[in-house]
Structure 1
Amino acid sequence: MPLQPQNSQSQRPDGSIGEQPGTGTVLMALGQAGIDALSRAVVAGLGITVQPRKIGEAA
């Protein structure tokens, strides 16, 4: 799951642009095409990749 370190802007219902969201942005891939797309985004410097692990599992 790539985490997007840059701030993204959002559009409010009234059409105005917000400066940054109140929370971070996480993208999750489903299927090989999605995994490939997010992997290319990480290589292009658009985020970082993290992988979940079970509690107590060694790094």
Structure 2
Amino acid sequence: MTDSSHIICINDGGGVVKKKIENVVLDQEWITLIKEAKKLGLSLEEVRQFLVHIREKTKV
């Protein structure tokens, strides 16, 4: 995990918003997975749907 300040870019559908965040801990495995999804051309909504699906599948 990495702890430092980062600039994140968020596309909220109306454009890209850049925001600086401080003292955040980022999980390198999640970063790698998100980058891979982007390389594969998956949209943010597709990633969200996948995560919701997995969460629902694993509920007991």
TM over 0.5, shorter chain: no
| Structure (1 or 2) with the larger CA radius of gyration | 1
Q: What is the TM-score normalised by the length of structure 2?
A: 0.29
TM-score with structure 1 setting the length: 0.29
